[in-house]
Amino acid sequence: MAIEKVYVVGAGLMGSGIAQVAATAGYRVTMRDINDEALAKGMKAIEKSLGKFVEKGKVPEDTAKSALANIKTTTEMKDAADADLVVEAVFENIDLKLDVFGQLEEITGPECLLASNTSAISITSIASATKRPEKVVGVHFFSPVPMMMLCEVIYGQQTTDETVAVVKAWAEDVGKDVVVVHKDVPGFVANRVGLAMSGVAIDLVASGVATPQEIDKTMKLGFAHRMGPCETADLTGIDVLHNAMKAIYNETKDERYWPPVLMQRMVTAGLLGRKTGKGFYDYSSGEQVAYWEL
């Protein structure tokens, strides 16, 4: 099966990033959100991101222009009717995802592949909203999508090898290194490992053992990580990690994945990281500034 037309559900940080990399690779992309304001914000983010790549010489200017021309926006789910691949990138809520996939089941053609960009919710559960679970697959990109190289492609209980092969090839074509996750386990691979580390790091901050910058420095210099766990939490969004941890905990009841109290308080306070200007670091000046004191 050849993928030519890609329909992305969601124009937020993840959806706009997925639309950008697909359009840059030459795919015709339709990006959908609930209103024109959200779509305009998503397109502005894409234009800004492409502009930075052009400035740094990583993307030719004509390629950036072609990418923008490859993206259409819509508020109508029915515009997914002629898509070869749909990538859902809405908020991490199982009921919302089930609603989206139920609509896509009725709208899209029988050969269309349906992918969820979930970071922790069961692919099998999402596929239950459709009559074609063999064509439903997980495609977990990492934030920010245009810069992060990893993409997990995840089997659901009934996903076929053919579906995984086609989506894997597409993800590689948009520039990603792919890890295939062969079993639909909570958190897949990356979050099953990474969130356990994040929880420990946040507990260490909360208990006064070390500051976020000290913990990040330890992991970067001691374990050759490019970013420390607190920096990563700020980049991804502390609310996103919070929801992913709860999703894993709800399925496994493994206490390692119950969101730390400090994380819960930060979500309540709106200290979500880069997107709100402050998390474990302060970004209000446009730079990452350490401010946490014990």
User: Which sequence positions are flagged as catalytic?
Assistant: 119, 140, 152, 191
Answer yes or no: are the C-beta atoms of 34 and 41 closer than 8 Å: no
- Short-list 243, 241, 233, 245, CA closest to 274: 233
CA distances to 6, 176, 192 from 86, rounded to whole Å, are 6, 17, 25
Q: What angle do CA 42, 149, 95 make, to 5 degrees?
A: 55
CA distances to 22, 67, 151, 159 from 59, rounded to whole Å, are 14, 10, 21, 35
CA distance between the termini of the chain: 56
d(CA 217, CA 197): 14
